Amino acid sequence: MKNKVKQFSLIIFIICYTLSIFSITSFAANNDISTYSPHCILMESSTGKIVYEKDAYSKAYPASTTKIMTAILALEKCNLTDTATVSHNAIYSVPVGYSHAYLVEGEELTINQLLHILLIPSANDAAVVLAEHIAGSVESFASMMNTKAIEIGCQNTNFVNPNGIHSDNHYSTAYDLALIGRYAMQNETFRKIVTTTQYTLPSTNKYAEANRFFKLTNELIVPDTRDSVDNYYYPYATGIKTGYTNPAGECLVASAKKDDLEYIAVILGAGKTENGLSARFIDCKNLFNYAFDNYKTYVINNENSLIKQLSISNGNIFNNKLDVIAKDEINLLIKNDTDIASLTPTINISSDLVAPIKKNTLIGTISYTVDGNTYASDLIAGNDIYESNLRTNVLTFISIVLVVFFLYKLLKFKPTKNTKKKNEKKKKKKKDDNNYLYW
C-alpha cells in the first residue's frame, strides 16, 4: 500500500513539474520573438496593451531608471525656472563609482538644469538635490515617489531613494516601469530632454566655468553611422532612460515611435550576448521592429458613436427609444492580418433600465477582446427618456386627435374646380338680383 502511495505521489509530482515548465515557457504574449534579458515587456503607448512580456511582474532592481519617477515629480511640483541649492548630503551621499555631475556644495541651479543632468548623464547628485528641494529630505521624497507609483498603477514597486543607488528594499518590475515610462512620456518637457544627446552646464555662483559637458547614455538615441554590430542607434527611438548597478545588471526603459504607433520597452537584469553585445539594446531594437512590422491600431468605435437603440417599456409612448452611445473611442491594437469583420463586441446593459433616464447617464459597457487584451468603453444614454403616465398620454392622444381633425377639415374643404364654378354662379346670381332690385 505504501509503495502505491509513493508511486501515486511521484506521478503527481511529475505532472505538476511538467505543467510548471510549460507555464514558464509560455510567459510571452506571443512566441514569434525571443529576448536575451530575464525581465522584458513591450507595451503599446496609446492603449497600454502588452505585445510581449517575459517575467515582467517579478521584482527586479531598477538602478537609474528610478530617475524617471524623480523627473516626473520635479516636473509636476516645480517650475523649470525655480532654483535649488546643492547640499552637503547631495554630494557625499553618492557612493564612489556612481555617476555624478561634479556639483559643488552651495551651488544654485535651476530645475531645468538639474533635470538635464539627471536624465542625460544620469547624475546621482542631481537626483538628491531635486529630492531635497521638493520634499525636504530623501526619505520624504521616496514616500512621494511611492504614492505617485500607486497613482500611476504600479503593482509591485518600492523606492527608497531618488536615484536608484542599490538597496535591497529598492525594487520595481518591468511592467511597473513601463507604466512609469508611459506616464512620463506624456510630458512634452520630459520628451524633449530624453532625446537631447549632449548638454553643458553653464557657470554658476560656485562654478565659474562652463566646462561640465555631458553625453546621453541611451545609445538608441545617439546617431551613429558606423556599419557595425555594436551600432545601437535606432532611428525611431524617442527615449527614455538607462540604468546599471552590479546587482541590477544593465537596465533600459526605452520608447520608439513610427507613424502613429509608439511603444514602451523595458529591459531589466540584462548582460552581454554570446558575441559580447549589449543585450538591452539588442532586445529593444528587436522588440520594436517586431511590433512595427506586425501590429497596427484600429478605431472600431468613435467617441459618442451610436451602438444601438433600446425600447424603454415605461417610457412615453412617443419618446421611448433610447440611443445607446459609446462614451469613449475604442482603439484596438491588432495584428496586420486581423479580419476586422470577425471582431464582435460584448455589450452589457443595465438590467434595471427604466424611465426616467437622463442624457449621459451610465447604462452599460462595451468591450472587445483581441489577443488576450480587452478594450472597453462605458455606454451612456444619448437622449432623455421621460416616464409614461396617464395624464401625459391622454393629453398627447387628444393633441394628436385634434391635429388630425384639423388636417382632415383643411383637406376636405379645399376648393376644387367645381366648387369654384359654383361659387362664381352664386356670385353672378347675387349680382343679377341686386341689379333687378335697383331697377
Identity of the residue numbered 118? L
Identity of the residue numbered 135? A
3-state SS, residue 385: strand
With a cut of 80, say whether residue 264 has pLDDT above it: yes
**C-alpha 214, offset from chain centre:** 32
Residue 6 lies in a domain: no
Cα–Cα dist 321/388, whole Å: 13
pLDDT tier at 16, thresholds 50, 70, 90 = very low
Range of the domain at 395: 390-432
Residue 353 lies in a domain: yes
Tens digit of each residue's pLDDT (9 = 90 or more) over 33-78: 999 999 999 999 999 999 999 999 999 999 999 999 999 999 999 9
**pTM of the complete model:** 0.80
**C-alpha 53, offset from chain centre:** 17
pLDDT tier at 24, thresholds 50, 70, 90 = very low
3-state SS, residue 288: helix
Q: Residue 160 in contact with residue 145, Cβ under 8 Å? A: no
- pLDDT average, residue stretch 121-132: 98
Cα–Cα dist 81/64, whole Å: 25
Q: Hey, what's the cell of 419?
A: 366648387
Alpha helix (H) residue ranges in 219-362: 279-294
pLDDT tier at 19, thresholds 50, 70, 90 = very low
Alpha helix (H) residue ranges in 311-416: 390-412
- 84 and 152 share a domain? yes
Q: Hey, what's the cell of 262?
A: 509608439
Identity of the residue numbered 15? I
With a cut of 70, say whether residue 365 has pLDDT above it: yes
Cα–Cα dist 214/113, whole Å: 12
- 238 and 353 share a domain? no
Indicate which CATH number applies to the domain containing 341. Answer: 2.60.410.10
Indicate which CATH number applies to the domain containing 185. Answer: 3.40.710.10
Tens digit of each residue's pLDDT (9 = 90 or more) over 176-226: 999 999 999 999 999 999 999 999 999 999 999 999 999 999 999 999 999
Tens digit of each residue's pLDDT (9 = 90 or more) over 75-107: 999 999 999 999 999 999 999 999 999 999 999
Q: Residue 267's beta-bridge partner residues?
A: 40, 252
Cα–Cα dist 306/377, whole Å: 13
Q: Residue 286 in contact with residue 280, Cβ under 8 Å? A: no
